[in-house]
Every structure is written in structure tokens, then in C-alpha cells.
Amino acid sequence: MKNNEVLRVEDLKKYFPVRQGLAGLFSSRKTEYVRAVDGVSFTVREGENLGFVGESGCGKTTMGRVILRLTEPTSGRIYCEGIDITSLNRRELKEQRRRMQMIFQDPHGSLNPRRTVNEILRQSIRIHKLVDGKAEEDSLIKETLENVGLAPADEFWNRYPILLSGGQRQRVGVARVLILRPKLVIADEPISMLDVSVRIGVLELLLAMRDEFGISLVYITHDLATARYICDRIAIMYLGKVVEMGPTEVIYSKPLHPYTQALIAAVPVPDPTVKMQDLPIKGYVPVTGTDTSTCGFYERCPYAMKEHVGENPPLIEVEPDHYVACFKVK
Amino acid sequence: MVKFLKQLESLREFVKLLWTHRMGRAGLIIFSLFAIVAIFAPFLRTVDPNITGSAENMLVPPNSQFWLGTDDLARDIWSQVLFGSRISLMVGFLAASLSIFVGTMMGVIAGFYGGRIGEVLMRIVDFFMMLPTLPLMIILAAVLGPSVWNIIFVVALVSWPTTARVVRSQVLSIKERAFVEASRCIGAGDFLLMFGEIFPNVVPIIFAQAVLVVTWAIYSEAVLAFLGLGDPTTISWGMMLHFAFESGVMSRTPNWIAPPVGSIVVLILGFTFLGTAITDVLKPGYREVRGL
Amino acid sequence: MALLDVEHLKIYYFTQEGPVKAVDDISFSVNEDETLGLIGESGCGKTTAVFAILRFVTPPGRIVAGKIVFQGRDIITLSNEEMRLLRGKGIAMVFQGAQNALNPVMTVGKQISEVILEHANITAAEAWERAKQQLELVGIGSARAKNYPHEFSGGMKQRVMVAIATACTPGLLIMDEPVTGLDVIVQRQLLTLTNDLRAKMHLPIIFITHDLSVIAETCDRVAVMYAGKIVEQGSTVSLYKEPIHPYSKALINSYPSVKGEKKELKSIPGAPPRLINPPAGCRFHPRCEYVMDICRTEEPPLENRNNGRLVACHLIK
């Protein structure tokens, strides 16, 4: 285990049983599962931003929650700075929570509407007993508010979330985790519900968190364009598996997996002189729980061949630090 | 201290909002009226309502001495009505408080944990809901004996399940919201999540529910007293009706019947108005729709 | 003459706090066989403006001034019955989050034929045939006419909405954030469909979105809205190449792209203003990096530049 690994995930799986209802009691069919996360492995190094990109249903949000043990994994191991957190009990886990935090998607729903800004931040301090005494708490809150760009702190001190703009609420969300000085932050679509003119500001804040506080970021999104802007490495997810992973510019300029190629081709470009490319794939994302003995992309893949049925392509390193799970790519 | 003042401030705001609501305004007025009457009853009464009198003062129709007349024991009806308001409001609030407290506890715990605990708790709630309220109250009151406190207990016992149901369903929906998970992610334990995060957001619904329980308590007290299960030494509106019925002259003395019945109806109406107003006012977007 | 001419439209919402100037004197036009994009952030008034075109503005909102001339008639002056006939046939709309606008207990085929029957004097059987054709047109296939909305995915429901909206070959189609919230690939399929329909039916479209890249893919002309006003208008190609208004410039410079060079992005400080008390003078001045004294006091008028570009900014003098 390298010393500068902030997060290591090994073969993480999260399966949700599909409720059979009353009929299930009498049928002899095996319980079916939704394989939300189906064997994901990766590492995040110190000071690195790793992006997870995929469409809805690919499992990226579930994966983020499982890593923080907001939902328990079905199997697999999660190591935070070398410590295996999958087997910790509640008390130990609470201590670990200081090091791994989350920023949520909905600026409106992620703040308790009945708490003021300073009360929200104070809760973080008190749960982990970061400092002693109210004066110390106040000064830490003030400093953190200024760190996230909510200055002067006095203006925001007693405000309820309803009086904050979307961007300001997300900044409070960032402050709430920043105050703990975590090593790793998982950001689940942090800007998708914000106005476009405000998004870059929040992204810059996330980048500043890395530069000034050494916080590594796992950035979960469906938006390829903003992921490119903020992430050093990108992992593309499809049906619970990572199908391609590598440095950002490599993935965007030389995508190898057919799904990645389709994704990049599908994203509209803010340049009206560029014509829309034809999409090489067809159809819609199949419902999970179907046949998993074959590559999940088989039905939509333009390069699908009969020989590919019955086996799942493993994730292999085809170039230094560039991984692909595809039979076509050798 | 600062927190208390802040809460007072938001209470003031809340009352102001209620005032803008038509029903809320009516409810506030009615409630204030009866509250004043209850508090200042000793100053507003003309005669000590407990004093019985001689035969010539019995069943006297309203006159300048006895504003609403007298009952069959020459007690002044006006003064009785005034003091009766104390019992009704007291029973209303105390029974509601007890009922709300128990119901909320059950509802929050059942809603938050769900699973086994939730199921067990909800089955207890279901059991209590199944019991027929009026017969149960009558039996309990008869068994426990005539006393205002017994009535309060009985009313609370029968009404807490509804609160538990309402609170639980609210908790179920709040539990899913991102800020609860965010707190859990920060490291908040179950207790902090239930009472620090979820409960403050349930309070509005509890208010609305409380008001309804109060109306129900007032009504139940009147019914039980009327049926003779109340304490004959305390003056309450239900008790007045009980004596009126027992006396046999009910059909000829509207001045004896109308005041207590009217008071019960108006007070319950006032609280019902308040309840409706609270529910409306607490709906998100109320201010915007009214252009406030 | 343009197909649709909006002139000096003003829509205010009268609240107890005062009038909210949601749309404050905007003018634009849509010609035959072109797509006009309306871009702006939340609260800029774009949805309110197009709601006015269909006369959907409800109290406390009111159209206080202006004209909306469609095919030569001022919509504001039409009677309720004339307006009802116009909706769906003359002008049709695909709403934001339209997937929730479908009736869950009616088959999609029935919902399409309902609209057709409303505006055409034909039998139910004929309407059903037309409905099936519409489903073919949007790529769902006539075999699914008897399916219910819940049997479709989000993107397909959106296509059903398009099928309903185009069922009576409207003279103008308005699409309000039709691809917002959809996955990338589904979004692309819907945009391709929109462009195909445009080409096949020569359908003029007003396309509302906050997404610059979507506009680039679909619209011939674009109008940029900010805080209830149109700040710049012109052909998409030239506006994207050379934006003049500081807000347009800032928007384009804050848009990441997956292709080409990774460019340096700049954020726009501040946030869109509340329209109950918009800033005096130019509404963008608190966030503008080129702000001058005159911007704080005088509102810049929308002026014509020689190449068909309209800009409202004091800088261009």
C-alpha cells in the first residue's frame, strides 16, 4: 500500500434485492438483485481529483454512498489512508468520518431549513469536539466561512438557508465538511442544480480546497464537460462497473471503450460551427438485473461480436495508467 | 436567553401570519376571548358560582342580578359559565400536551428506525386505535372515578395514536431528505438525528395536530361530564348540562342550556379555525401565494 | 413579415411586497423555418415570456404592456375562445419536465389523438391513425400506441410530448428546457429528433434553455436574457464567435467543453438579482467587469449593430 493513497477501493459491490412481493414467497425462483455497484476497484492519491462519470442508473451515486458507509456494502473493501473502514464499528466509524466527507447535489435539501448557517457549522465542530469553548467555535466558524467565500461572515451568520442563493447554499455545504479538514471529499453532482453563471465559482472553490488544504476529491457527475475541468483522472461507469479509467486528457482525446466514445460524441459542444456527430450506438440503458454473464454494453455496442457473449471483459491496463474493460481493445 | 428571544420573535411572526389568514384571525380572537375569561373569571363573575341559594332564587330567568339566570340550586349561571371555561381550557391543554408528548415520541422513534422497532410500535398504535373511543372513555372514567385528572388521562390515552401516526408519516418523509443524511455523514448519532435534525421540522405538524386534540379533549370532557362521569364538585360546562338534564326542567330553561352549549361550540370552532389556519400557514409557499 | 413578433412585452407579478418585473420590455421575432434560442438563467423571465405567448400568465402575474403578433394577429387581444383554438394548432408547447404532464391512466396513443380531435373534424379512427403516425415520426414506433406513460423511460416520454405537440402541425413550436435533466445520450437523441423534425416539417421553434451548448447544436438565432431583459440577440454562429455584451461573453467563457483545447474558465461573481428590486440602470452592472458610471444610472437600450446583432450595453458607443 503506497503511503500517499488517500482512498483504496477493492472489488466493491452493492446489490439490492428486488422485492418479490407475496408471490415471491411461493415461487422457487432465486432472489433477483439490482447490481448497483458491481465490482469497482480504484485508488485516489493525495491531492488528486478523480471523476466518476456516467449516466443515471450507472451506480455512481450509490458507490459514493457506499464508500462513506452511508449504505453498507454487499462485499468488498474500503481503505482510507490505509485503515480498513469496512469492518469498523459505529464508534470507530464516527472517528473516521472526520477524514471522509460528502458534498450533496441539492443545495436546497442538503441544509436543515430550521438551522442558521452558524448553527449548521457548529454542529460539525461539536460532533467531533474540534475545539473547546464557544469563542473558539465562533472563530473557527468565521474562518471557515471566509475560506469558502462567504464573507463578511457576519452577513451570513444568522441566515436561514431559505435566504441564501443556490451557490451560497452549496458553499455552506462545502464549509460544513471543510471545517473537519477531511482528507477525502466525495462530491455528488455538486453543481448540477446551480445556475450556470455560478457553477464555475463553486468548482473553483473545490479546486481551492485541494490546493490550500490538500483535500482529494472524488467528483461524481454525468456532466463530462465540467468533469474535464476539475478532474485529474476520470473513470467512466456503466451498469455498476468501471469500463474505462485514466488521465483526463487521455480519456477525452483518445477514448478506447465504445461507450466512452459514444458519451463524448453525444455531448453537445458550445460551438455552433461544429456539427453534431452521429451516435455510434443505439437504444437505451437496459434495466439492471438482466443477464450479467456478458459485457453489459453488448446490446448497444457497434462492435459487438458473437464471441463476446458469456464472458465479462476485465479491466486491464492497456497503456500506463489507462484501463479499459473491452474485448475489442487488446 | 438570546435563543429564547429569537423563539419569541418567531412566535410573534407566526401569530402575525395567522392573523392574515381569515380563519386564523377568527380563531385567534375566539381563543383570546376565552383565555381572558378563564384568567379573569374571579373578576368577571358576579356571584360565587358554588354558593347555592334559597328556593325563591332557583330557576330564575335572566335578570339584573343573575345575568343568565340561576340553576335548580340557585347558582348563578353566568358565573358558572365563566369558571367552566377554566376546566375546558385546562383539560384541553393538559390532555393535548400529554397526548402529543407520547404520540410524538412514538411517532419519531417508529418513523426513524422503521424495521422491527417501527413495526412493533405501530402495532401498539394500531391496537389503541382499534379501541372504541367513547365506550372506552366511559368505562375508564367509571372505573377510575370522577375527577378532572382522570378525564385528562383518559382523553390523552385515546387520542395519542393519531398523533403518533401523523408524526410517523412526517418523519418518514423528512428522514429521506438530504440534510438528514448530511448530518449522519458528519457523524451525528441517532439521538441527534431524531431530535436535533428531524424533530424541528416536525414541529409545525405537531402544532396543527395539537390544536385538533385540544378540540377533541374539550368535547370529550363535556361528554363525559354530561354522562355523569365528571367530578360533581367542579364546575364545567359538561357538568352544567348534566345537572340541567338531571333536573328534568331542561326543556323549559334555555338560559341554562344555551350558555354552556354555546360556549363549547364556539370554543371548539375557534380551535378548529386555528387548526386549519396553522396547516395552511405552514405550507411552504404560503407567503408567496398571498403575496406577502 | 415575421411569423411571430413580440414587441415591448412587459409582464409583472403583483405581490404584496411590490411588483416583480419578471419580463421588462423585451422584443424579439421568429421567422418561418428558423429556430430561435432563448437562453438565460433561472429567474431571467424566459419561461414567463413564452407563457405569455400562449396566454398562460396567471394572477398575480399580468401582461402590462406590449404586443405579441402571431401570423398578423395580436394574441393579447384575442378572445378566450380564439385563444383556445390557437393553442395546440397554431402554437404548441413542450413543457419543462414534460414527462409529468402525461396522464398516467391514458394510453399515449389516446393522448395524442385527443389533441388531434380537438382541432380537426375527423373520426376517432382517423385520429388514432394519425396518432400512430406521430409515434413513428418521433421514433417510438406505432406499435407502442397502446402503452401507458409509465412504461416509457424519461427520454421516451419526452418524445411522446413532442409527438403530442406536433400532432396538429403547429405554425410555431415552443420547447421549454426539453432536454434538461436527461442523460447525455438520451439528450443527444432528442436533439437529433428536434433537428430532424425541423428539417422535415419546416417547423419554426423557440427553444428555451440555460445550456449554451444545446443552443449551439440546434438554434439559428439566439437571444440572451438577463433579469427580465434581452441583452443581446443575433445569429448563433456570430454571437458565439464574437459576443459583445459582457454577460454573453462571461457565459460563453464559463462554459467547459469536452472537445478542443481545455480553456481557462472564468466565474461570474455575484448572483442573478431578485426582480422585485432590480439594480438601477443596467441590471447586469453589479456583476460586470467593465462597469462604468453611466451603467449604474441609465439603462442601455437595445441597439442595432450593422450585422443584424442587437446589444443593450453602454460599452458599444
Pairwise CB contact (< 8 Å): A271 & C216: yes
The neighbour count for residue B288, using CB atoms within 10 Å, is 13
Q: Tens digits of per-residue pLDDT, B70-128?
A: 888 878 888 888 888 888 888 888 999 999 999 999 999 999 998 888 999 999 999 98
Q: Which residues of chain C have pLDDT under 70?
A: 1, 98-99, 317
The total domain count for chain B is 1
Does C17 contact B at CB distance below 8 Å? yes
Q: State mean pLDDT over A213-226.
A: 92
Q: Which residues pair with C172 in a beta bridge?
A: C91
Inside any domain, residue B57: no
Higher pLDDT, A284 or B130: B130
CB A11 within 8 A of CB A76: yes
Assess whether the previous peptide bond of A152 is cis (omega < 30° from 0).
yes
Q: Given this model, what pLDDT does residue A288 score?
A: 52
Amino acid at the residue B204? P
Q: Given this model, what pLDDT does residue A11 score?
A: 93
Distance from CA of B182 to the nearest CA of A (A): 7
The neighbour count for residue C88, using CB atoms within 10 Å, is 20
Length of chain C in terms of residues written: 317
Indicate whether A135 pLDDT > 50.
Answer: yes
Distance from CA of C41 to the nearest CA of B (A): 21
| A101: chain B residues, CB-CB within 8 Å | 185-186
Does C227 contact A at CB distance below 8 Å? no
- What are the strands of the beta sheet with C61-70, ordered from one edge? C18-30, C4-15, C61-70, C73-74
Does C58 contact B at CB distance below 8 Å? no
Does B288 contact C at CB distance below 8 Å? yes
Query: What mean pLDDT is reported for chain A?
Result: 86
How far apart CA A47 and CA A214 sit, in angstroms, is 5
Pairwise CB contact (< 8 Å): C262 & A196: no
User: Rounded to whole angstroms, what are the CA distances from A285 to A297, A326, B72, C127?
Assistant: 9, 18, 84, 32
Q: State mean pLDDT over A211-221.
A: 93
Distance from CA of C59 to the nearest CA of B (A): 10
Please report the ipTM that was assigned to this predicted complex.
Answer: 0.84
Left (φ > 0), alpha (ψ -120 to 50) or beta: where does A11 sit? Answer: left
Distance from CA of B210 to the nearest CA of A (A): 20
Indicate whether B7 pLDDT > 70.
Answer: no
Q: State mean pLDDT over A219-227.
A: 91
Q: Tens digits of per-residue pLDDT, C41-69?
A: 888 888 889 889 988 888 888 888 899 99
Q: Tens digits of per-residue pLDDT, A32-63?
A: 788 889 899 999 999 899 999 998 888 899 99
Pairwise CB contact (< 8 Å): B179 & A127: no
Q: Tens digits of per-residue pLDDT, A183-199?
A: 999 999 999 888 888 88
Indicate whether A1 pLDDT > 50.
Answer: no
Distance from CA of C52 to the nearest CA of B (A): 20
Interface chains of chain C (3 or more CB pairs under 8 Å):
A, B
- Yes or no: domain C4-90+168-316 corresponds to CATH 3.40.50.2300: no
Measure CB to CB from residue B185 to each of A97, A114, A128 and give the nearest one.
A97
| C190: chain A residues, CB-CB within 8 Å | none
Higher pLDDT, A284 or C261: C261
| C153: chain A residues, CB-CB within 8 Å | 284
Q: Tens digits of per-residue pLDDT, A69-104?
A: 999 999 999 999 888 999 888 888 888 889 999 999
What is the pTM for the complete model shown? 0.84
| A198: chain C residues, CB-CB within 8 Å | 267-268, 271
Q: Tens digits of per-residue pLDDT, A306-325?
A: 777 777 888 888 888 899 98
Q: Given this model, what pLDDT does residue A284 score?
A: 63
Indicate whether B1 pLDDT > 60.
Answer: no
Does B178 contact C at CB distance below 8 Å? no
Amino acid at the residue C64? V
State the residue range of the domain holding B160: 11-47+69-289
Pairwise CB contact (< 8 Å): C189 & A279: yes
Q: Given this model, what pLDDT does residue A248 score?
A: 93
Parallel/antiparallel/unpaired status of strands C221-226 and C35-39: parallel
Which regions of chain C does DSSP assign to beta strands (E)?
4-15, 18-30, 35-39, 61-70, 73-74, 91-94, 172-176, 205-209, 221-226, 229-235, 303-304, 310-311
Q: Given this model, what pLDDT does residue B252 score?
A: 82
Query: What mean pLDDT is reported for chain B?
Result: 85
CB C188 within 8 A of CB A266: yes
Distance from CA of C60 to the nearest CA of B (A): 8
B109: domain CATH number is 1.10.3720.10
Measure CB to CB from residue A196 to each of C187, C240, C251 and give the nearest one.
C251
CA A18 to chain centre: 24
Higher pLDDT, B50 or C126: C126
Parallel/antiparallel/unpaired status of strands A5-17 and A75-80: antiparallel
- Yes or no: domain A5-19+31-99+182-324 corresponds to CATH 3.40.50.300: yes
Q: How many CB pairs under 8 A join B and C?
A: 10
Nearest CA to B66 among B48, B42, B43, B46? B46
Q: Which residues pair with A242 in a beta bridge?
A: A237
Full DSSP string of A151-210: -SHHHHHT--GGGS-HHHHHHHHHHHHHTT--SEEEEESTTTTS-HHHHHHHHHHHHHHH
Q: What is the residue extent of each domain of chain A?
A: 5-19+31-99+182-324, 114-181
Higher pLDDT, C181 or A330: C181
Q: State mean pLDDT over B146-158.
A: 84
Q: State mean pLDDT over A240-247.
A: 92
| CA distance from start to end of chain A | 28
Which regions of A30-147 does DSSP assign to beta strands (E)?
33-45, 49-53, 75-80, 83-84, 100-103
Nearest CA to C266 among A199, B230, B285? A199
Q: How many CB pairs under 8 A join A and C?
A: 132
